[in-house]
Homo-oligomer: A and B are copies of this chain.
Amino acid sequence: MGIRAAVAGASGYAGGELLRILAGHPGFEIGTLTAGSNAGSALGALQPHLRSLATRVLTETTPETLAGHDVVFLALPHGASGPLAAQLGDDVLVVDCGADFRLRDAADWEHFYGSPHAGTWPYGLPELPGQREVLAGTKRIAVPGCYPTVSTLALVPAYAAGIAGNDIVIVAASGTSGAGKAAKVSLLGSEVMGAVSAYGVGGVHRHTPEIVQNLSAVAGEPVTVSFTPTLAPMSRGILATCTVKAEPGLTADGLRRVYEDAYADEPFVDLLPEGQWPSTAMTLGANTALLQVALDERAGRIVVVAAIDNLTKGTAGGAIQSTNIALGLAEELGLSTLAVAP
């Protein structure tokens, strides 16, 4: 008998990816699947790519339908996790793929989300220094945002090694699944194919304070981040170009060594060989983050380019990685480093 897992929000993109991974995970048994307006439908009508679960029927999202599981994954709109989690009991592991419990600063939450702060849960990014200890045995996990996942992995080593100054600039291109499964004209295939566009420009994107929080913690002082997300004509993937002022005296070799050392033992983060640059296509469906670094001596900047699959390492895969740790399972269990390409 496996660990019994429920997925709330099973009809969306994050929910679908959770199910894809859970269905192939040897440790879990998939229990209740819930949805909002899609409650009552067969999963096959909404996630037709998951054949082995096609006849499962979605139920409503309530504390009652979610009761009786060892783990409950929440893949819900922002603001929905807080009230629901409060009714799920302290003995069940609740893994929130939404934003509700990511930020520590209530004022930041209120500024960016415009609602009262629900609280702060252990942050599900195991690669952060000391974070595996925080996650071991926890009953609550706040899964990081997709952009914060890739940006944090890209820049933490530089701050941890003291080679990065301030003035971070991050420009990231995301596939459209990051915008969710909502029917909007701006997300129609006719609109997004052939198009790269910007949105949330000028520091207003809600992932900005999360990136600042993560990097400031490692830097030991507040950092500034100019973050611009863009939408690219692909379903999945994020490529983040992350640059920061280099501390004086840094060399290209020294920069490379910092990143080699930082990620030598990480199962899901790879510094690519010199001369090879990350592409989102190298990560499709895998729980990997692929990085490359350069030192721009003329501009005095470190440039780190990093790729992830926003739905896998950036959401569902990262969630299950942290869940494995919380439950005392092998961290890599059920997670793949083999992407689907081309």
Mark A residues whose CB is within 8 Å of B: 13, 16, 20, 23-24, 42, 44-45, 47-52, 54, 167, 169, 171, 173, 175-177, 179, 181-185, 187-199, 201-204, 208, 224-226, 228, 230, 232-237, 239, 241, 243, 245, 270, 272-273, 276-286, 288, 290, 292, 294-301, 303, 305, 307, 336-342
Contacts and interface: CB of A to CB of B under 8 A. Distances in A.
18 contacts: A24-B336, A51-B270, A51-B286, A51-B288, A169-B243, A173-B196, A173-B232, A179-B190, A182-B185, A187-B190, A189-B193, A190-B235, A196-B239, A201-B241, A224-B299, A225-B299, A236-B342, A340-B340
B189 A233 contact: yes
A277 B190 contact: no
B190 A188 contact: no
Contacts of A303: 201-202, 226, 228
A281 B197 CA distance: 8
Contacts of A48: 272, 276, 279, 282, 290, 341
A82 to B, nearest CB: 26
Contact of A201 (B169, B199, B292, B297): B292
A176 B188 contact: yes
A209 B93 CA distance: 54
A187 B188 CA distance: 6
Given A194-B234, A195-B279, 7 more contacts: A42-B273, A51-B270, A169-B299, A169-B301, A208-B298, A226-B301, A284-B340
Contact of A280 (B196, B201, B224, B280): B196
Contact of A189 (B188, B196, B270, B279): B188
Contacts of A297: 203
A175 B191 CA distance: 12
B340 A197 contact: no
A295 to B, nearest CB: 6
Contact of A173 (B16, B54, B230): B230
A187 B297 CA distance: 29
A319 to B, nearest CB: 17
A37 B273 CA distance: 21
Most B CB within 10 A of own CB, among A47, A226, A307, A339: A226
Quick one: which of A167, A185, A279 has the most chain B CB within 10 A?
Answer: A279
Contacts of A42: 273
Contact of A230 (B226, B228, B239, B272): B239
B273 A195 contact: no
A278 B231 CA distance: 11
A290 B79 CA distance: 36
Given A169-B169, A169-B243, A235-B190, A281 B49 contact: yes
A341 B16 contact: yes
A234 B195 contact: yes
Of A51, A224, A280, A298, the most chain B CB neighbours within 10 A belong to A51
A265 to B, nearest CB: 14
A13 B193 CA distance: 15
